[in-house]
Amino acid sequence: MTSEVDPLLSEVQAAVDAQKITASAAENIKIWLTQPRYASYASQVADHIQAGKWQALDDAFWTVIPFGTGGRRGRMYPIGSNAINERTIGESAQGLASYINDNVEGPLSCGIAYDTRHRSREFAELCARIMVANGFKVYFLDDYRSTPELSYLVRYKRCSCGIMVTASHNPPSDNAVKVYWSTGGQVLPPHDKAIIDRVMNVEELPLDVVFSEAVGKGSIEICTDEVDLSFIENVKAQRFSGPRDLKLIYSPLHGVGASAVIPALQADGFADVEIFGPHAEPNGDFPNVPGHVSNPENPHVFDAIIERAKETGAEFVLATDPDCDRVGCSAPVTTDLKGEWRTFTGNQIAVLLCDFVLGKKKSGVGVEAENYVVKTLVTTEMVRRIADSYGVKTYGNLQVGFKYIGGTMDEEGPDNFLFGCEESHGYLVGQYARDKDAAVASMLLCELAADCKANGQSLHEKLESLWWQYGYHAEHLLNQKMEGSEGMANMKKLMAKFREQPPTSLDGMALQRVRDYKNNVIVTPDGKKSPLNGPPGDMVILDLAEGNYVAVRPSGTEPKVKFYMFTYVEPEQLSLLDMAKSAMQERINALETELKAYAAAI
The two beta strands, 417-422 and 472-481, are unpaired
Backbone phi, then psi, for 364, in 5-degree steps?
Answer: -105, -100
- Identify the three-state secondary structure at position 501: coil
CA 507/CA 593 separation, integer angstroms: 9
The confidence score (pLDDT) of residue 564 equals 98
Query: Would you mind telling me the total number of residues written for the chain in this entry?
Result: 602
* Eight-state DSSP code of residue 538: S
The confidence score (pLDDT) of residue 183 equals 97
Averaged in consecutive runs of 10 residues, what is the pLDDT profile of the chain (602 residues)? Answer: 82 97 96 95 97 96 79 92 96 96 95 98 98 98 98 98 95 96 94 88 94 98 98 98 98 98 98 98 97 96 98 98 98 97 98 98 95 98 98 97 96 98 98 98 98 98 98 96 80 93 95 97 96 95 95 82 96 92 97 94 84
Active site residues: 168
The whole model's pTM is what? 0.95
The confidence score (pLDDT) of residue 487 equals 80
The confidence score (pLDDT) of residue 65 equals 87
CA 231/CA 147 separation, integer angstroms: 12
Look up residue 570 and give its amino acid: E
**Chain-centre distance for alpha carbon 65:** 17
CA 229/CA 31 separation, integer angstroms: 47
CA 179/CA 73 separation, integer angstroms: 11
Task: Give the residue from 325, 130, 322, 153 showing the smallest Cα distance to 222.
Answer: 153
The confidence score (pLDDT) of residue 3 equals 65
Task: Give the residue from 185, 238, 151 showing the smallest Cα distance to 409.
Answer: 185
**Chain-centre distance for alpha carbon 360:** 27
Cβ(366)–Cβ(387) under 8 Å? no
Task: Give the residue from 528, 599, 593, 597 showing the smallest Cα distance to 560.
Answer: 599
The confidence score (pLDDT) of residue 69 equals 58
The confidence score (pLDDT) of residue 71 equals 77
Cβ(320)–Cβ(309) under 8 Å? no
Handedness of CA 291, 293, 296, 298 (dihedral sign): negative
